[in-house]
Amino acid sequence: MRLRASILGGGSWGTTVASLVARNVPTTIWARSAETVLEINTSRSNERYLPGARLPQGLRATHSIEEAVRDADVVVMGVPSQSMRETLREVGKHIRAWVPLISLSKGLELGTKLRMTQVIAEELPGHPAGVLTGPNLAKEIMSGFAAASVIAMEDEVIVRELQGIFKTGLFRVYTNTDVVGCELGGALKNVMAIAAGMGDGLSAGENTRSAVITRALAEVTRLGVAMGGRPETFPGLTGMGDLIATCTSPQSRNRQVGFELGKGRKIADVLAGMRQVAEGVKSASTVLQLGEHYGIEMPIAHEVNGVINQGRTAQDAFRGLLRRTAGSEADPG
């Protein structure tokens, strides 16, 4: 039997993943907006989030979570991290037993500081939980550019079965059983991308950007390993790969937030003009708290949090980083 897939979330990445999956199996996408649902079903497009992109004929949209998940063999959660728990509670009313859930969100839940697979485990125990993550820019993938991603689950049998649902000719999907490391790489790098964007907004130069990305990877790795991730995961696609893409691409929402902050704009004004969530803005304080909890110095996260939540400027942040004493490259800072 062919598996049936459901993707929840009609934003740019949810729609992109739905388009990829629809090439392999019958796929339904759920969106909050009735207008988006109508547009996908009648015009095969989602102009708000993916202007100019043509969606496959096999993709069907619905405004009903029940309709989306009741017959699904795999459910893909493409909603923002702060909406994940609420959406899962609605999913739980209709999903069949043991159906796997795959998160696309690269964020941490405020308050609990939980990863999204942990939220899934709390709300829907008994359902295998995993994450699809990597250096994936939605518009490039929809334009036909090659890309690579990782699907991570603890169960090697299930993850290999699901691998075939997501991969296409130009979208290469690897497997990994290090869910913690893969998920943290995606969540932590968003904060680092804001720092890289601030440097670009300040016209700090490519040498500075390279230094920020390199030190950010060290920072992400230290905390990720302390939280249970495997060291070898972070130099891979879900760590270094995702960090590079998010810190350098104009398509990156988190980098764009940092860029505007570097230009001197206030965070409230930057967010007011955005259509989609920049996960790093909400995660900044949580990442810093996790660093404190695990005894890991997070100098870049500290400075980003100061700009986002404490009224400091991007110039203040970079002065703070430069004031730190440079010791061994293996040391934080």
- Torsions phi, psi for 6 (to 5 deg): -130, 130
> Residue 1 — very low, low, confident or very high, per pLDDT cuts 50/70/90?
low
Residue 13: pLDDT over 60: yes
Note the helical H segments in 202-298. Answer: 206-226, 242-248, 253-262, 267-272, 279-294
| Tokens read off for 90 | 């609605």
Residues 254/271, Cβ–Cβ less than 8 Å: no
Q: What is the largest CA-CA distance in the chain?
A: 61
Q: Tell me whether residue 189 is one of the annotated catalytic residues.
A: yes
Can you tell me the distance from the alpha carbon of 106 to that of 126, in angstroms, rounded to the nearest whole number? 22
Mean pLDDT score, 112-124: 97
pLDDT at site 331: 65
Tell me the per-residue pLDDT of 50-100, one tens digit each, with 9 for 90 and over: 999 999 999 999 999 999 999 999 999 999 999 999 999 999 999 999 999
Query: Residues 106, 113, 139, 189: which is the catalytic one?
Result: 189
Tell me the per-residue pLDDT of 137-169, one tens digit each, with 9 for 90 and over: 999 999 999 999 999 999 999 999 999 999 998
Can you tell me the distance from the alpha carbon of 187 to that of 172, in angstroms, rounded to the nearest whole number? 21
**Domain 180-323, what fold?**
N-(1-d-carboxylethyl)-l-norvaline Dehydrogenase; domain 2 (1.10.1040)
The packing angle between helices 279-294 and 253-262, to 10°, is 90
Residue 327: pLDDT over 60: no
Between 281 and 278, residue with greater pLDDT: 281
Can you tell me the distance from the alpha carbon of 223 to that of 220, in angstroms, rounded to the nearest whole number? 5
**Domain 5-177, what fold?**
Rossmann fold (3.40.50)
| Mean pLDDT, rounded, of the chain | 94
pLDDT at site 44: 97
Continuous segment of H or E residues that includes residue 298: none
> Residue 325 — very low, low, confident or very high, per pLDDT cuts 50/70/90?
low
Mean pLDDT score, 94-117: 96
Taken in order 119, 124, 128, 130, the sign of the CA dihedral is: negative
Domain with CATH 3.40.50.720 in the chain: 5-177
Can you tell me the distance from the alpha carbon of 271 to that of 252, in angstroms, rounded to the nearest whole number? 14
**SS3 letters for 63-116?**
CCHHHHHCCCCEEEECCCHHHHHHHHHHHCCCCCCCCCEEECCCCCCCCCCCCH
pLDDT at site 10: 95
Question: pLDDT above 70 covers what percent of the chain?
Answer: 97
Tell me the per-residue pLDDT of 53-67, one tens digit each, with 9 for 90 and over: 999 999 999 999 999
Domain with CATH 1.10.1040.10 in the chain: 180-323
**Amino acid, single-letter form, for residue 232:** E
> 4 by DSSP, 3-state: which?
coil
Residues 6/69, Cβ–Cβ less than 8 Å: yes
pLDDT at site 332: 66
Mean pLDDT score, 18-35: 96
Mean pLDDT score, 237-242: 97
Residue 308: pLDDT over 90: yes
pLDDT at site 330: 66
pLDDT at site 112: 96
> 152 by DSSP, 3-state: which?
strand
pTM listed for this prediction: 0.92
What's the number of CA atoms in the CB half-sphere (13 Å) around residue 318? 21
Residues 43/15, Cβ–Cβ less than 8 Å: no
Cα–Cα nearest to 133, from 178, 192, 95, 74: 178
